[in-house]
Structure formats: structure tokens, C-alpha cells
Amino acid sequence: MPPQRSTGTEAEHPLYAGQYLLETRLGSGGMGIVHLARSASGLRLAVKVVHAEFSQDPEFRGRFRQEVAAARRVSGAFTAPVVDADPEAERPWMATLFIPGPTLAEHVKRNGALSTDRLRHLMAGLAEALRDIHRAGVVHRDLKPSNVLLAEDGPKVIDFGISRPSDSELRTETGKLIGTPPFMAPEQFSRPRHVGPAADVFALGSVIVHAATGSGPFDSDSPYLVAYQVVHDEPDLTGVPEELVDLVSRCLAKEPEDRPTPDELMTALRSVSASYDTRAFIPEQRTSGGEPVPPGRKPRPLHERPEGSEDRTHAAAVKRGGRRRRLPALVAAAGLAVAAGVVGVLGLPGGSQSPAAEHHTTPTAGHAFRPWNLDLKASGAEAGGQSQCAYTPRTLLCVRPGVLAAAIDPDNGKVLWSRSGAGDTSTYSTPAPVLSGGLLMVGNGHRLTALDPTTGATRWSKDIERYDGRIAHVAGMVLLTGPDSEVVALNAATGKEAWRRSVPGTKLPQFQSFGDGVAYAVATPTLSTTRVTAVDPRTGATNWQRTMHGQLSIVAAHEGAVWFASTTIDQYTDAVLRYDVTNRGIHRAALRVPQARAQVAVQGDTAYLLGNDGSLVAVNTRTSKQLWRVETSVSKASAPTVAGRHLYLTTVDGRLIAVDTVRGALLGQTKAHLAGSRGSLVSALPAPLTVGTHVYATAPDGSLFAVDGRDPSGW
């Protein structure tokens, strides 16, 4: 391997990075210099070599190792793939595939604003890129025009110099802000240690404004003024095409939870214009000096371009005539920590009483499983809403608005029998069906009906309207809580009353069950305490009662332990508690970063918490150790379902996503299930159902589908 030079001027301009001969310099920035090089096979590479002055700084080396790790995670269709790297070299370096094409900053500077069609294409391409980056568990944190390459096959996002893998231990220092102010989200100024994927969406909005107008939505020569505007002012969208204003405005919402996800952006963009052209925008190619080359013509030989040219792009951006800013009078008093250090980095249910024999078939014994998709419709109706299902050893039993119940062959998706819910064609979610006492319990809020799961025939039925949804199915019993707090228990197999009584110390108890044969009721007598009552469903006797500190909700119970999620007053889940029923011991596993409105699944001693913003965390509830964290880039998803090494969740656009429970790696996803105008908005998404190696999920378009869970990457 040829040696690196280490003296004189060549210490800053080495001839080699590893085995790669550095031919010419492409640019320079705060972290290092980017050179053009070639691999042994002739591939053109962009090789970044860290500045000599930083190469001995342990913190800087740690940040560069983080950049390499992030770039490798996201290496794919929307980024510059990593070819090689050595973050431990005397002069750390990383080689990525060289992508011909100007940066967005260069293109706007030389050619002015993009047309509306190109803006739509750019916005969709960046949304796709962020979707993949976030799925890889990375938050970019510095998306800006100079970090977007306009390649022939669409935009590429580069420079992961200040991005952070979600499971990284390297954190933003207190008092130091990292990013480029005109493209930073408000939370990057106010709470930089807790920046998530939504910050990249904010930056995307700012990038689109720049591409449409030549200036950002918050524009000033002073970073202090820009920071104040980002946090306090409304964005200036003058010049943004009218059809994109609403989407861009949503991206620039002050609160992260108010911004769309990349998937939601792509869905919205498809409906912006019926004539939306998805063909790739083929820009001018670039030379090392940034000179444009018309499509189809080979670029001129590369020459050096001035050091720092990447970093000066924003300052040299085209200014729109007539754009005015209202500037705060007392900016210096804003107290923003920009002065502490803003770092820029290079490129770096009931119905009728008899089943309506719509379909009658029998399962095919030994039939090989193949993925399937079914639209379970109501008889003679086009009701929307999602299906919800339970499972018997040979049958999926499902309900849907307009469908009282249906039995489905789990191997091939064929309907075995179906009963229409007379008059019930609402698109709102129906309660999930429950198998109890050997019967299928289905309801629509007014009547509970027990069906024979083999034929669909009614076995018994009861009016339950007075119980206002306070109904639970536990260990072969149906528990109904009346408005007077009296609990009536029915034998699920017969519908006969078994007992009736009040539960001491609990008003209007709503019971939950988790397969351990116990009915749990949770009450919050004060804002800071939770009372938990465990009841024997067969007799109504109280097994135990305990008052605990905090606002708690039960999330799991098995093997003599009960798990609770602790929620703060602002609806953030900050801990998981494990309660040992025998010795009455409590172990609290606090989260490093609270999860917004988290949904929790527990397998063994591990709790998996899925935040409303898409962050997914695994925590050992005995040791309090955080095992991993990944950003799914999915907001408002279903509750997670855990089965062995796989965790599954469904999304608002009908995708099923799989995550490795050991490594926290995203394994694969199905296509979206949104059928145009037939798609419907739902208040809650049913969690996926797993049976052996098969996974069953439902989507807002009304479809029920099944996939083989053994290889999610093949979905």
C-alpha cells in the first residue's frame, strides 16, 4: 500500500487515502477535504480526508466514526454509497461513489429557481430519501441545498457528518448547537439533545423554499436573527408554487408532531396534481469546478475549486426582489445559544340470527401457504373501515363495519362463511372479536353476540348498551360494568349470569386481561398515583390491590409479573415498571429519552416501546439497560406485536413493517395498501396478528393480507 505523506504541505494534501490515489480536489469544508479518486476497477470515488488539525482530536474522531457508521447504514439508492473507509487511520478518510451532478445550491445559484414540476420531483425524491435514512435508524440533522446532489436518477442526500445513528452513545454537547441555522428546526435550538426525524422534515421544507425562490423561509445575514425567526416567526413562503404551499407549510410546523412523515409527504404529493410526472429530473452534470455540462455531453476534466466553496453557497444564494423580513427589535435578548457554536460541515356487530351462507368452503388440508390479500366486504355494501381478527387453530375470525363476522382460511384467504351486520355500514372501527368459552364474541356497542366459530350460527345474544363499552373477556367470562359500578359476570359459553358484585375501592372499573387468567382494573385516584386491582373473573373476588406512584397503565402480565408504562403529564412515556406479584417488588426502568404516547409490547423481560413519532426502543425491565433504539419514520402506527426475533407494526398507509428484536434492525416492509378514494382514515390501527411463521395485518383500504414472516426482506 503506498504510504501517506505526513510532512509539510502534503500533511494537509496527502497523495493517498489508504490505497486510493487522490487525483484532484472536489471541495473543502469544516471537517475535511473531498478528493476525486479511482478504485482498482476504475470506479470514480469521492474521498473525504479529515483535516490534519482535527485528526488527533478524540471527540472529532468519534464524530467521524459516527459519520462513517451513519453513511454505511443509509448507503443506497438515495445517497452516495460507501465504498471504503478507515476512521482509525492517521488521517481518517471515507470513500463514496462519485455522483456526477451539481448540488442543489450550485444549480439554484447558476440557473435560478426550479420549475413547479421539478420542485414536485425534488420534494418527492427528498421525501423518499428521508424515509430510507430514517428507516435505517439515522437522523441527518443537516439537510440543506449544498447536501443535495441533483443526479441523473434523482436527488441524492450526502454529508452525514453531524447525523446521529439512533443507538449511538455520542450525543450533542450541552451548550453546543450543530447544524446550519437557515435549515435547522426549532427543536435543534431549544432541545438539541432530543432531535428526531421530524427535524429533517423541517429542513426538507426549508430546502424546497430555497429551490423555489433562491432564499430560505427564514432569511438573514445574521445567524442570530435566523435562529430567532426559526423559533418564533412564521416562514416566508412568497414565491412557492400555490399547489405546494400547504405541504411546505406543514413541513415547517414549529412542533415536530405536527409535521408530516416522509411517507405522508409522498402520499400527499401524488394527489397534488393529476399530471404529476415521476420521471427523473436530469440536471446538468458538474465538473470539479462546478461548471454545468449539458445532459448527454461528457464533463470537462476536473479542476480544483476554491476551498470553502461548499460552505459559502448559502451566503451567495440568489436573493428574491421584494422579499422583506420583519426583524425583532431585541434579538440579542432572545437568549439563543447560537453563540455557543454553530458548526457547518462539508458535503459531507348484531345482525340476523342465522348465518348468511355467502361462501361455504372447507380449508384445504396441507395446502402450502402463499401470501394473499382479501377485501372483506359487507354483503351488498361498500363499507369502509378496517378488519380486526382473532385466530382458532384452523381459522381466522374477523369483523369489519358492515360485517358482523366472517371466517377465513388462513392459508389462502378464502372466505369460509360470512354474516352481514344488518344496517351497520359505518366506517368507524368495530371492537375486535374475542374467542371465549369456545365461542366468538362480536359486538357493535349495542349488542354482544356469541357465534359458533365453525358455522357462524348465533348461540346467544345480549343487549349491552347500558354498559357503554365497559366490557372485558377474561378466562371464559364476560365482565360488564354498569353505570352504578356494579360488575355483572356472564359465562361466555352459555351467556348465563355467574355473579354480580362491586369491586372495593374502584369506581366504574374497566378490566383488562393479558392471558394469565386475571382481570385487572386500573384507577387514578390522584394525578400522581395509580390504584391497580386484580380480580378473579370466575368469582369476582379481589386477589390483590396496590396503589403505586405515577400515572400508570398496564401493558403486559405473565409468569407472576405485571408490567406498567409510566406516563408524564404531557403524555410522554418515561419508564416501564415491572411488578412482582409474589414479593410485591417494583423495578422501574427509566428511558433515556421519553417516548411520545408510546405503545408497549413485552416479551420475556424486554419491553418494546413504539413512540407516536416512530422511535422504537427496547429496554430490559430487570436491568434497566436500553438494548437498542431505532427510528422507523412511522408516526401514529399500530401497537407493536412481538413474535420471537421479529417485531411487527402496521402504518397508516397500510404497510406491514418488521424489525429484528435482537439487533433493532429494520428487516423489511410490504407495499402500501391505499386504494385511492377507497382509503379511509381510522382512529386506531389494529396490531398485526402472528401465527407460527405467518403474519396477518389489515389496512385502511379495508384489505386483510397475509405474508410469510420468515423473510421480511422478501416482502
DSSP collapsed to 3 states, 91-139: CCEEEEECCCCCEHHHHHHHHCCCCHHHHHHHHHHHHHHHHHHHHCCEE
- At position 126, the amino acid (one-letter code) is L
CB neighbour class for 190 (10 Å; exposed up to 12, middle 13-18, buried from 19): middle
Task: Please name which of 19, 14, 44 lies closest in space to residue 32, comparing C-alpha atoms.
Answer: 14
Task: Please name which of 348, 308, 305 lies closest in space to residue 24, comparing C-alpha atoms.
Answer: 305
703 contact partners, CB below 8 Å, separation of at least 6: 373, 374, 375, 654, 673, 675
Tens-digit pLDDT profile for residues 453-511: 999 999 999 999 899 889 999 999 999 999 999 999 999 999 999 999 998 888 889 99
pLDDT attached to residue 675: 54
CB neighbour class for 455 (10 Å; exposed up to 12, middle 13-18, buried from 19): middle
- Residue 99: CA count within 13 A, CB half-sphere: 29
625: pLDDT confidence band, cut at 50, 70 and 90?
Answer: very high
pLDDT attached to residue 306: 35
Locate 215 and state its grid cell: 432564499
Task: Please name which of 528, 532, 615 lies closest in space to residue 569, comparing C-alpha atoms.
Answer: 528
Specify the range with the lowest mean pLDDT, choosing from 306-320, 389-403, 493-507. Answer: 306-320
242: pLDDT confidence band, cut at 50, 70 and 90?
Answer: very high
SS (HEC) of 296-337? CCCCCCCCCCCCCCCCCCCCCCCCCCCCCCCCCCCHHHHCCH
pLDDT attached to residue 193: 65
Specify the range with the lowest mean pLDDT, choosing from 319-333, 404-418, 700-714. Answer: 319-333
Contact (Cβ atoms closer than 8 angstroms) between residue 520 and residue 513: yes
Between 632 and 562, the higher pLDDT residue? 562
pLDDT attached to residue 109: 92
37 contact partners, CB below 8 Å, separation of at least 6: 17, 20, 21, 22, 23, 44, 45, 46, 47, 95
pLDDT attached to residue 178: 63
Specify the range with the lowest mean pLDDT, choosing from 39-43, 65-69, 299-303, 704-708. Answer: 299-303
The mean pLDDT value for 346-351 works out to 30
pLDDT attached to residue 330: 33
- What percent of the chain stands above pLDDT 70? 78
pLDDT winner (highest mean) among 278-287, 348-357, 475-484 = 475-484
Between 527 and 324, the higher pLDDT residue? 527
303-306-311-316 Cα dihedral, nearest 10 degrees: -100
The mean pLDDT value for 416-425 works out to 72
pLDDT attached to residue 713: 87
Locate 675 and state its grid cell: 386504494
> Between vectors from CA 211 to CA 209 and to CA 213, what angle results, nearest 5°?
65
pLDDT of 339 > 70? The answer is no
The mean pLDDT value for 180-197 works out to 84
Between 548 and 286, the higher pLDDT residue? 548
The mean pLDDT value for 663-677 works out to 80
pTM here is 0.54
State phi, psi for 206 to the nearest 5 degrees. -65, -40
Q: How far apart are CA 261 and CA 637, in angstroms?
A: 12
pLDDT of 8 > 80? The answer is no
Task: For residue 203, count other CB atoms closer than 10 A to its CB.
Answer: 27
Task: For residue 677, count other CB atoms closer than 10 A to its CB.
Answer: 7
- Residue 502: CA count within 13 A, CB half-sphere: 9
pLDDT attached to residue 15: 83
Task: For residue 694, count other CB atoms closer than 10 A to its CB.
Answer: 19
Q: What is the distance of C-alpha 389 from the center of its chain?
A: 24
pLDDT of 216 > 50? The answer is yes
Pairing type for strands 372-375 and 285-286 reads unpaired
229 contact partners, CB below 8 Å, separation of at least 6: 218, 219, 220, 325
pLDDT of 145 > 90? The answer is yes
pLDDT winner (highest mean) among 266-275, 290-299, 319-328, 504-513 = 504-513
